[in-house]
Amino acid sequence: GEDVEQSLFLSVREGDSSVINCTYTDSSSTYLYWYKQEPGAGLQLLTYIFSNMDMKQDQRLTVLLNKKDKHLSLRIADTQTGDSAIYFCAETKGSGTYKYIFGTGTRLKVLA
Amino acid sequence: GAVVSQHPSRVICKSGTSVKIECRSLDFQATTMFWYRQFPKKSLMLMATSNEGSKATYEQGVEKDKFLINHASLTLSTLTVTSAHPEDSSFYICSASVLAGFNEQFFGPGTRLTVL
């Protein structure tokens, strides 16, 4: 299967940490990504992780990958109002077409 | 970073007309371009994969005669919505990739199509 699921909404207070979760069903995924979409705009790559990694940290962003449970998470430390957006996880198998399968998206709202 | 542009950013047309959307990679040559459709508050749905000089590969359920894709060069792909109807109203996003490294796709800013 190719379903990639995320919770629809997340609301946090400014300065707190945000954790956005993603579950996928295809264990053959090679790369997993996190993208950010601001209103009316395209997608911006935030970070990615290769399937043989468990964790990746990049400044305020920490990605955790649990291959056994097919679970991916994105933690944003010290969340700011500018982080309010929709966050999509995506997977790709590197099967030649390099097709992305996007998650359903999580709308993050940061309260001042 | 790599930049992808789309034109127009917003278009309103009458039912029955055709609309062309351009996707350009501005500072790199894209081996492959992708076209997505995004419904309000929904995820991105891949419509087709386009390789330069060859026919596009359409996803299941996407009408290739309705959504014509032309990838004439390594920096330009076009999507033409033929005989548009109100149900074609949507946000269309393209992306471009060089299919190397970690397979990153670079996304355009999107085109908002409204069919009256």
pLDDT in tens, A18-56: 999 999 877 777 789 999 999 888 899 999 998 889 999
A18/chain B closest Cα distance in angstroms: 20
* Beta-carbon count within 10 A of B38 CB: 20
State the average pLDDT over residues B2-28: 94
The residue of chain A with its CA nearest to that of B31 is A97
Residue B28, chain A, CB below 8 Å: the answer is no
Closest residue in B to A49 (Cα–Cα):
B102
Q: For A43, which of B103, B107, B112 is closest by C-beta distance?
A: B107
Distance from CA of A11 to the nearest CA of B (A): 16
Is residue B46 less than 8 Å (CB to CB) from chain A? yes
**Using CA atoms, how far apart are residues B104 and A104, in angstroms rounded to an integer?**
19
What's the rounded mean pLDDT across residues B103-109?
86
B31 to A96, A110, B26, B34, B58: CA distances (angstroms): 12, 38, 13, 10, 17
For the record, the structure tokens of B108 come out as 């355009």
Q: How confident is the model at residue B92 (pLDDT cuts 50, 70, 90)?
A: very high
Determine whether the interchain pair B43/A99 forms a contact, defined as Cβ–Cβ distance below 8 Å: no
Number of CB pairs < 8 Å for A and B?
A: 55
> Which residue(s) pair with A47 in the sheet?
A34
User: pLDDT-based confidence at B72, cuts 50/70/90?
Assistant: confident
Is residue B60 scored above 50 in pLDDT?
A: yes
Q: Do A41 and B102 lie within an 8 Å CB cutoff?
A: no
Mean pLDDT value of segment B112-116? 96
Q: Which residue has the higher pLDDT, A34 or B100?
A: A34
Q: What is the largest CA-CA distance in chain A?
A: 45
Residue pair A84/A39 in contact by the 8 Å Cβ criterion: no
Q: How many CA atoms lie within 13 A of A50 on its CB side?
A: 5
Which of B32, B62, B61, B37 lies closest to B49 in space, CA to CA?
A: B32
Instruction: Using an 8 Å CB-CB cutoff, list chain B residues near A105.
Output: 41-43
pLDDT at A1 over 70: no
> B22 pLDDT exceeds 70?
yes
**By mean pLDDT, which of A4-8, A13-17, A77-81, B82-86 is the weakest?**
A4-8
- The answer to whether B66 contacts chain A (CB < 8 Å) is no
pLDDT at B102: 65
